[in-house]
Structure 1
Amino acid sequence: MKRVVVIGGGYGGLRAIEKLSKYQDIAIILIDKNPYHYLQTEAYGYIAGQFDMHDVAIDLQNWCEGFKERVTFIHKEATSIDFEQKKVHLDGRDLFYDYLIIATGAKTNFFSFIEGLRENSYGVKNLERAHNFRIKFENIIYKKLQHEEDSREGKLNIAVGGAGLSGVEVAAEMAYVLDSYSKTIGDTAKEIHIYLIDASDTILPGMGQYSIDNTKKRLEALGVKILTSTFINTVDATYVHFRSGEKLPYSFMIFTGGIKASSLNDTIDNEKNSINQLITTPELNVQGQKDVFAIGDCVEIKDAKGNILPPTAQIAEKSAEYVAKTIRQRIDGVESKPFDADVSGVFIALGGKYAVGEMFKYIKVKGYVAYVLKKAITHAYYLGLRLRINTGFKNRNR
C-alpha cells in the first residue's frame, strides 16, 4: 500500500484525490489549514451577495468521508517538508509519505511597492477577506437605503484594483446588484460608483479580443468606470493615489491585481519565480525529488511550447489529473511523459444572467447562452462535491 499525501484542499488537491481514490493500493491523506474547500471561482457572486456561504465553501472532513475510509483528512497546517526523510512537518506531528503532492495554491499579492495597499484593501483568494468585503458592500447599500449620508468625500466610491478575470467579475456583479437595487430603493443606489483600475492598457490582459471587447461593453452598460493605464502609487484610508498625481476618494477597495504562492514555498529549497511559484521539472516534480509533485497556483506551469499557463482552476485541475496519472505510472514502473496542456476555454461572469466565453479557440459566445454554459460547468463541479459529501453522511450514520 502506497501513501500519497496531498497538501492543500483547493481545486488541484481535490481533483488529484478524486483520480487517485479509485486505486485500492493507494492510501490518501489530505492536509489543509482550513476545514473547508473554497470555490474561489464563485467569489464574485458571494461578495456581491448573489451567493450564500454554502455556495462557495465545502466541508473537507465530510467530503473526505465520502470516499469510504479511503481518504483521511487532517486539519492542520503543513509547516515544512523533509525530503530526505520523506515526511511532512505539521503542528505537533510528522507525517510520512511515499508520494507527495503540493497543492497549496496562492494568495493575493498586495504589492509591497504600493504603500498602504495591504492595510486598506481586501482580496478574494481568502474566504475570510471575501466575507469581510461582502459585509462592507452590504453595509454601504444599507446606509443608502436608510438615507444615511457621510460628509467624507468619496463615501460612495468602490475601487477594484486589477482588471483581470477576478476583478472584472467582481466589478460586474456588484454593478449588476446596484442596478437591481435601483429598481427598489431608487436613484440612491446609483450614487454608488464602481471604479475598475489596472496598469495595463486594456482590461483582461492576455485574453482574446472577443472577450475583451464584449466585456468592456457590458461593464460600461452596467455603469462601471474603467481606468486602464492607471498606476496606483499609494492607498490610504480615504484616497487611492495614482502615479499621475490624481487621486480617487473611495469607501472601500478590493485588490485582485496579482498573486503570489503560499508561504510553504518559502521553506522549500527549489528554484522559484518572482511571485514565489516553484519552478518544477517537465513532469511537475520538485527539483531533485521524483516522488514530490507540485500542482496548481503554487507552481509555474508551462505548456509544451514553454508558454506560462494562467493560474486558474482549470489549469490546477489539469495538472492534478496529470500528476495522479503519473503517480500511478511510477508505482507501476511505467515511464511518464512531460506535462502538456492548454486552456480549453474561459467564461467570464458579467452580472446577472450574462457572460462572455471563448472555447477551443473557435467558439465564441456571449449573453445568456454563455451564462448557461458557465453555470452548467460550475454546477457539475459543485454537484460532484455535494454528492461526495452526501456519501460521507451516509457512511458516518451507518
Structure 2
Amino acid sequence: MAKKVVILGAGYAGLYCALELNKLATSQDAEIILVNKHDYHQLITQLHEPAVGAKNPEDITVSLNAVLGAKPIKFVKDIVVSINKEAKTVELGNTTLSYDYLVVALGSETEFFGIPGLKEYSFTMKSVNQATRIREHIEKCFENYAKEKRDSMLTFVVGGAGFSGVELVGELADKLPELTAKYNVPKDKVKIYSVEAAPSIMPGFDPELVEFAKKSLEDRGVKFSIGTPVVQVEPGKVHLKSGDVIETDTMIWTGGVRGVQQVIDAGFETEPRGRAKVDEHMRALGHHDVWIIGDACFVLSPEGRPYPPTGQISTQMGENAAVNIYSTIKHMKLEKFEPHLYGAVASLGRKEAVANLSPKFKPKGWVAYRIKDASKMRYLSSIGALFKK
C-alpha cells in the first residue's frame, strides 16, 4: 500500500522535494500531498525587485498548478496550524491530514533579536505580499512629500547588510531617479541608509567583492553605517548604538531568521532561534518519519558554521529528503546530506552584481549580473517552470 507523504510548504525546499519524490516513486510507492498557503511558488531570492517596483509581483511567482500539471501530486491550498507528531497528523485551517512520512518546509520567520519596537515599526520582506506593501509605502512617501515636505518621508533605512539588505538598497538606489522625476522631488532630499551590526557587509563574500559592492552603492547615494547595531525603533525614529538617531518613516528589516512556530510548538528539538535540529539525513532528531528542510532547519557545515538560508541549499535539502524518503519506503540505505556549493551571487541593482564562484573566478559588474539572471533561469528550468506562469 502506498505511503502517505505530506509536504508542508512549496518554497524552494518543499517544491523540489515533491517533484524529486514524484520522479523516484510510483503511485504504488507513495501518495504525495503538497500543502501551501498560496497557489503559487515564490522566487524569494528576487523579492527586492517588486519591493521597489522594478518588477511586478507576478514576475517572481509561478503557478503551482502549472508546475505540477498532470503529475500525481495532490495540491492542498491551506495554512498549517499545528503538527501532532505522536498522532502523525497535521492540523490545517480547513482539515486534518494524517501522514506516514512528513516533510516540514515552512521556511522561517523574522528574527528581531528582542530590539524594542523593531517588530512593531518595521517592514519585513519574506513574501511577495510583504514586498508589495513596501512598494506601496515607498510610492506613498513620495506622493505625500509634495504636500507635507517632511524629510523623514524620503529617508529610507534598511537594517541588515547581508544578501537581502544589499540587494534591496541597490534596487532602491536604481529606482530613485524614476521616483524623484515622477513626483517632482529634489534628488538631494532622498537618503538611503544601510545599517549593519557586524563589522562588514555581505558576510562570506571575498573582501575585494565587498569593496566593489560598497563603492558601487555609495556612488549611487547609499550611506553605510557598519558595526552599528539598531537598539530601538519608534514611530519616525531609528536609534543606533552609536547614539545616532535616524529620523525616518521607513525601516525595512532584513537582519535575521528564526524557526517557524509550528515546529517549536510540535516539540521537535530546536536550537536557540527555533530552527529544528536534524540528523545527517535531514530527519528531525529522534524521528525517522519526519524530515525538516529549508530555512526551518539548522545544519552545520563541516567547518562548524550553519549553512546560510539560500535557495541552492534549500533545493539540495529537498532533493536529499526525497531520495531518503524513497529509500526508507524501499528499505534502502539513506544518503547523507552533503551539499555542493556553487558560489553566491548578489545583485547591486539592475545592471551590476558580485559573484563569489571560486577562488579564481570572482566576476563583478555586468558579467556577474548576467550570471545571476542565468542562475534564476536554470532554477526555473529545473522545476519545469521556464515558460509557465
Equivalent runs, 1:115-126 vs 2, <5 Å: 115-126=116-127
2:76 corresponds, among 74, 77, 93, to 74
Q: With the length of structure 1 as denominator, give the TM-score of the two structures.
A: 0.90
8 Å contact kept, 1:303–1:341: no
1:150-175 superposed Cα distances (whole Å, 9 cap, x missing partner): 34342321000111110000001100
Residue 50 of structure 2 is aligned with which of 36, 39, 46? 46
Aligned to 1:2: 3
The aligned residue for residue 164 of structure 1 is 162
Which residue of the other structure, out of 306, 309, 316, is the alignment partner of 2:307?
Answer: 309
Counterparts of 2:237 and 2:85, CA distance in 1: 47
Please give the alpha-carbon distance, in whole angstroms, between the structure 2 residues aligned to 1:125 and 1:185.
28
> Deviation per CA, 1:273-324, whole angstroms, max 9, x where unpaired?
1211001112111122112101100000223444311011111111111111
Segments of structure 1 that go 5 or more residues without pairing to the other structure are: 394-398
Contact 2:295–2:314 (CA<8 Å) still a contact in 1?
A: yes
1:69 CA displacement: 4.6
Which position in structure 1 is the counterpart of 2:30?
26
Letter in 2 for 1:120: Y
Q: CA RMSD in A?
A: 2.2
Using the TM superposition, give the Cα deviation of residue 19 of structure 1 relative to its aligned residue in structure 2, in angstroms: 0.8
> Match for residue 371 of structure 2?
373
Q: Does 1:88 align with 2:108?
A: no
Instruction: Mark the runs of 5 or more structure 2 residues left unpaired by the alignment.
Output: none
Q: 1:157 to 1:188 in 2, by over 3 A?
A: same
1:361-393: CA deviation from partner (whole Å, max 9, x where unpaired): 432101111111110111233355574895xx9
Q: In structure 2, what is the Cα distance between the partners aligned to 1:331 and 1:315? A: 24
Query: Secondary structure of the equivalent of 1:290?
Result: coil
CA distance in structure 2 between the partners assigned to 1:240 and 1:158 by the alignment: 11
Q: What do the CA deviations read for 1:93-152 (whole angstroms, capped 9, x no partner)?
A: 3212222111000122233x22111121101113322211111112234456xxx15343
Q: Are 2:200 and 2:227, in contact at CA under 8 Å, matched by a contact in 1?
A: yes
> Which letter maps to 1:44?
H
Q: 158-167 or 238-247: which moved more? A: 238-247
Q: Closer, same or farther in 2 for the Cα pair 1:321/1:365, shift >3 Å? A: same
Aligned-pair identity in percent equals 31
User: Is the Cα contact below 8 Å between 1:162 and 1:196 reproduced in 2?
Assistant: yes
What is the deviation of 1:188? 1.6
Question: Does the 8 Å contact 1:141/1:189 carry over to 2?
Answer: no
Scaled by the length of structure 2, the TM-score of the pair is 0.92
Partners of 1:284 and 1:323 within 8 A in 2: yes
2:41 aligned partner: 37
Match for residue 212 of structure 2 among 211, 214, 222: 214
Quick check: 1:282–1:338 contact (8 Å CA) kept in 2?
yes
Q: SS in structure 2 opposite 1:18?
A: helix
Give the match for residue 107 of structure 2. 105
Structure 2 residue aligned with 1:16: 17
Which residue does 1:173 correspond to in 2?
Answer: 171
Aligned residues: 385
